[in-house]
Amino acid sequence: MHAILRRLGRLSQFAAGATLALALVAPAAHAQPVSLNQASQPGYTQTRYPIVLVHGLLGFKTLLGVDMFYGIPEALQRDGAQVFVAQVSGANSSEVRGEQLLAQVKDILAITGAAKVNLIGHSHGGPTVRYVAGVAPQLVASVTSVGGVNRGSRVADLVRGGLPPGSVQESVANEAVKGLAQLMGVLSGAPDYPQVPKAALDSLSTAGAADFNRRFPQGLADGCGDGPSAVNGVRYYSWTGNRVLTNPLDPSDAPLALLWPVHGEANDGLVAVCSTRLGRHLGDYRQNHLDEINHFVGLRDLFSVDPVTLYRQHANRLKQQGL
């Protein structure tokens, strides 16, 4: 059994690394989408407060001309939304990333004159935006978690099992991922934020998430249902994907498919659907973890809703709520 677990751990690390490489490097060879496949509807996405998009692990704002949230900011801005894309540490704890985001939120409020922001976080961006709402609810109108690691990921648990704290393996892996995160920071023109991959791994584990949730329980669902829809004046929402093989042309599908069995329940490849629940849950879609931000360069399940449409619909939802 131990041999099998070790093999699964190595397989998970390889699959996760391959998925990230495909998502972060290959899209740079393509231009931004010319058509977003939605007719313009002036005012449709014009929220009262600015929208701030927050990336997950090893994410970025723009890398070599390609947006992490592929085509999404443009689609929201076109019909009235003020949109900002945050840049936080690609690999660090939820709390460190949250403090970095909080500073950017204050800058955005100063620039726009707005009283609050609408935060939308993908993957590790979910706990990151929850941290800001937890420590400064007066600055946040809404929190939306997309494929958020709100109760941890079994993939992180498996990787952590193969990298015991204080071990040589952990040290080597930490330095390798740290170097990758720093390189991506340089290529994306990001601030020189600290990169501590082992802190990120701990935050993304089920044990780390449980500790975070004890301190920041706002909006957290009990089990796989909805959580409180409003806490301390902040509205909470979530949605996620529940598939891995979504498009035969998408090279990220195969690595994510290798991770599917690790969770033991429906998942998007990296996060189980029940782990993503926060506030009012808006649905599970035929998307994998990268489809949720419209990667790999917009390739997706043709029988599922366009990811860009989900963001537009949500902006309109926030507008209708006076947010």
Residues marked active site are found at 123, 268, 289
Residue with tokens 């540490």: 89
Cβ neighbours of residue 256 under 8 Å, at least 6 residues apart? 15, 19, 244, 268, 269, 270, 288, 289, 290
DSSP state of 84: E
d(CA 66, CA 296): 11
What does the block give as tokens for 197?
């991959």
HEC profile of 117-140: EEEEEECCHHHHHHHHHHHCHHHE
Neighbours of 124 (CB within 10 A): 31
d(CA 162, CA 270): 17
Q: How many residues would you count in the chain?
A: 323
What does the block give as tokens for 322?
């006076």
